[in-house]
Structure 1
Amino acid sequence: MKAGDMLHLNRAASPQFVRPIFFRLIKVRTELHTYAGWIWLDGYQLDERGEAVARRELYVLEAAVRLLRTPRSNSGHGTRRTQKAPARSLNQGAELVGDGRVDLYAGL
């Protein structure tokens, strides 16, 4: 895991995530000592549009952290975009569940 990675954290990662969250990683806190297999993460909790809503430090089981995507490295060499791609929502492809709520995790 590295800075900028988007993570999906659920109850398997830590009991505090009764409702799963999306998380943008700032850094793994390697200077903090933990039990084997557990790590401290520093980053931002994201809303359904991928916007930061809260800065958090989280203690999670590393094996249960799900990496969703990593930021593309663009050095600017050899490629040039002429058109901006349309904005994508985290819940693109989401489905309605029986009670009318949106299931943000349908496509995961």
Structure 2
Amino acid sequence: MVPKPGDVLLIDGRASVQFAGDRALRLRVIWVCERPTYRGWCWVTGYCLDADGNASERREVFVRVAGLQKLLPRGRAGRPVQPWANRKVRTRGV
């Protein structure tokens, strides 16, 4: 999964050894560098998120794409956002 702006990622030891253990972070992606790097790795720029989902600092990290984990974005009440929940279902008469 190649990240894209707006994605919220868990970056831990699977993405890069420097983020193993308690150094893992949640990152809201704002930019992914398209320059070629080592196969399967990329530079990702984004904002680290605190426990409340607020941006705390801007970071640029070099990570293994296969180790990235996409998280569900959180709404204001701390619950996962469900974009389909507010849609009206239309049915056709038979």
Q: Does 1:88 align with 2:91?
A: no
Q: Report the secondary structure of 1:44's partner residue.
A: strand
Calculate the TM-score normalised by the size of structure 2: 0.71
Aligned counterpart, 1:23: 27
Cα RMSD between the aligned structures?
2.2
Give % identity: 39
Q: Show structure 1 runs of 4+ deviating over 6 A.
A: none
Between structures 1 and 2, the one with greater helix share: 2
CA offsets, 1:32-87, max 9 Å, x none? Answer: 3210000100101111111111101110000000011269xxxxxxxxxxxxx762
Give the paired residue count: 76
Q: Report the secondary structure of 2:17's partner residue.
A: coil
Q: Relative CO higher for 1 or 2, CA cutoff 8 Å, sep ≥ 6?
A: 2
Stretches of structure 2 that go unaligned for 5 or more consecutive residues are 81-94
Calculate the TM-score normalised by the size of structure 1: 0.63
